[in-house]
C-alpha cells in the first residue's frame, strides 16, 4: 500500500567542523520519502522553485517517488542552513529562507486522497491540517513537528493532535510541549492530547514508543562515524511508515519492528551529507543492519 508524505522540500546548506556543503537536497519530505521508498510506493506532496536542480527531481524518480503532488513554481526553493558542533548532536539554524513556501497550499491530486498511510512530516501545522482536510478516511496518520511550531503555532498544533493516530517528536520537543522533564510522564500527557501512539526520538540513543499503556525502546544503530545527522529523524519516521504500509496485520502488531527499520534507515542517512549515503543503500544492506541490531539487543 502507498504512503502519502507531505513536508518540506528544501535546499540545505550544512556546515560541520570538517566541511561546508551548500545546496544539498533536503527537507523533511525529501528525507522521509526516500526512506519510505525502500519499502512501499510513495506519493510526495511539496513545493520547489524553478531553481530546484533537475538532478534532485531525478533522484526522487529513481526512488520511484510519485511527483504529481510536487508543485514546481516561480520563485526560490525553501533554503535552510545549519551548523553542527564537534559532537555532531548540537545544531543551530543559521538561516531559513522560506521562498516558495511562503504561499504554499498543499493540493492533493485526486489519486492521493485515498492513500491509506499518511505521514505529515515537519511543516507548519496549518498545512498538515489542510492535507488531512482533503483525505478520505486514511488507515493511519502520523505527524512529526519541530520546536518552531510549538513556539509560533501551538493552537493549530494542539488541534492537529486530535486528528492523528500517532505523533513523533524529539525529547526536547516532548518536554517543551508537556512542561514535564520526565519523558515517560510526558508521553502519557501527550496521549491525553489525542494520539494513541507517541514516539519520542532521542537521537543517537534511539526512540521510545508509548502505546496502549506499554513502552518499547528502539535502539539507534551504533555508528563509528557520523558525517551529517540532518534528516535522521525524518528518515526514521519515513522508514517506519514505509515498513508499516508494506506489512500485513495491525499497526499495533507491526510498529515495534517498523521502528527498528526506521532506526536502521536513519543510520544510513547519518553516514553522508544530505541524501548522499542513503540513496546508495540497498534492501539487503538494510536487512543486514536489522539482524545486527537484533543480535546486539538480545538477552
User: Residue from 33, 178, 230, 247 that binds ligand AMP (CB under 6 A)?
Assistant: 230
- Residues 112-141 within binding reach of ligand AMP (CB under 6 A): 122-123
Please identify, among the stretches 64-72, 107-115, 207-215, 232-240, the one whose residues bind ligand AMP according to the rule CB under 6 A.
232-240
Q: Among residues 19 and 111, whose Cβ is nearest to ligand AMP?
A: 19
DSSP 8-state code for residue 102: G
Nearer to ligand AMP, 170 or 211 (CB): 170
Instruction: Return d(Cα 8, Cα 94) in angstroms, integer.
Output: 17
Count of CA atoms in the C-beta half-sphere (13 A) of 35: 37
SS3 (DSSP) at 89: coil
| Dihedral of the alpha carbons of 82, 87, 88, 90, in degrees to the nearest 10 | -50
Query: Would you count residue 49 as binding ligand AMP (CB under 6 A)?
Result: no
User: Contact between 26 and ligand AMP (CB under 6 A)?
Assistant: yes
Residues 81-100, mask of contacts with ligand AMP (x by CB under 6 A): ---------------x----
Q: Which stretch binds ligand AMP (CB under 6 A): 24-32, 41-49, 202-210, 212-220?
A: 24-32
List of residues 6+ apart from 56 with CB closer than 8 A: 25, 30
Can you say whether residue 194 is alpha, beta or left, with left for phi > 0 and alpha for psi between -120 and 50 degrees?
Answer: left
- How far is it, in rounded angstroms, from Cα 117 to Cα 189? 25
Phi, psi of 18 (to 5 degrees): -95, -30
Residue 173 within binding range of ligand AMP, rule CB under 6 A: no
Which position among 80, 84, 243, 261 is part of the footprint of ligand AMP (CB under 6 A)?
A: 80
148 belongs to the binding site for ligand AMP (CB under 6 A): yes
CB of 98 to ligand AMP, least distance (A): 8
CB nearer ligand AMP, residue 255 or residue 270: 270
- CB-nearer residue toward ligand AMP: 174 or 247: 174
Q: What single string gives the DSSP state of each residue in 178-244?
A: HT-S-HHHHHHHHHHTS-SEEEEE-GGG-EEEEETTEEEEEPPPP-S--S--TTHHHHHHHHHHHHH
Q: Rule CB under 6 A: which residues touch ligand AMP?
A: 8, 10, 12, 26-28, 80, 96, 122-123, 148, 230-234
Amino acid at each position: 500500500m502507498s504512503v502519502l508524505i507531505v513536508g518540506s522540500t528544501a535546499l540545505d546548506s550544512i556546515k560541520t567542523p570538517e566541511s561546508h556543503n551548500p545546496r544539498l537536497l533536503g527537507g523533511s519530505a525529501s528525507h522521509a520519502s526516500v526512506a519510505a521508498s525502500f519499502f512501499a510506493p510513495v506519493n510526495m506532496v511539496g513545493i520547489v522553485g524553478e531553481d530546484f536542480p533537475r538532478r534532485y527531481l531525478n533522484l526522487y524518480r529513481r526512488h520511484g517517488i510519485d511527483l504529481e503532488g510536487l508543485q514546481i513554481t516561480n520563485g526560490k526553493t525553501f533554503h535552510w542552513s545549519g551548523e553542527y558542533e564537534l559532537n555532531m548532536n548540537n545544531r543551530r539554524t543559521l538561516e531559513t529562507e522560506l521562498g516558495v513556501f511562503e504561499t504554499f497550499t498543499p493540493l492533493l491530486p485526486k489519486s492521493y486522497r485515498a492513500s491509506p498511510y499518511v505521514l505529515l512530516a515537519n511543516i507548519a501545522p496549518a498545512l498538515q491540517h489542510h492535507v488531512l482536510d482533503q483525505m478520505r478516511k486514511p488507515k493511519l496518520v502520523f505527524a512529526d513537528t519541530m520546536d518552531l511550531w510549538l513556539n509560533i503555532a501551538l493552537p493549530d498544533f494542539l488541534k492537529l493532535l486530535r486528528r492523528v493516530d500517532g505523533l513523533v517528536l524529539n525529547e526536547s520537543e516532548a518536554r517543551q510541549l508537556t512542561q514535564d522533564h520526565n519523558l515517560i510522564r510526558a508521553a502519557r500527557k501527550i496521549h491525553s492530547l489525542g494520539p494513541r501512539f507517541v514516539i519520542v526520538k532521542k537521537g543517537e540513543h534511539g526512540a521510545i514508543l508509548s502505546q496502549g499503556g506499554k513502552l518499547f525502546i528502539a535502539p539507534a544503530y551504533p555508528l563509528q562515524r557520523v558525517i551529517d545527522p540532518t534528516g535522521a529523524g525524518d528518515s526514521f519516521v519515513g522508514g517506519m511508515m514505509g515498513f508499516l504500509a508494506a506489512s500485513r496485520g495491525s499497526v499495533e502488531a507491526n510498529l515495534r519492528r517498523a521502528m527498528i527499520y526506521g532506526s536502521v534507515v536513519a543510520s544510513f542517512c547519518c553516514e553522508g551529507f544530505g541524501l548522499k549515503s542513503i540513496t546508495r543503500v540497498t534492501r539487503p544492506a538494510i536487512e543486514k543492519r536489522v539482524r545486527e541490531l537484533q543480535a546486539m539487543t538480545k538477552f
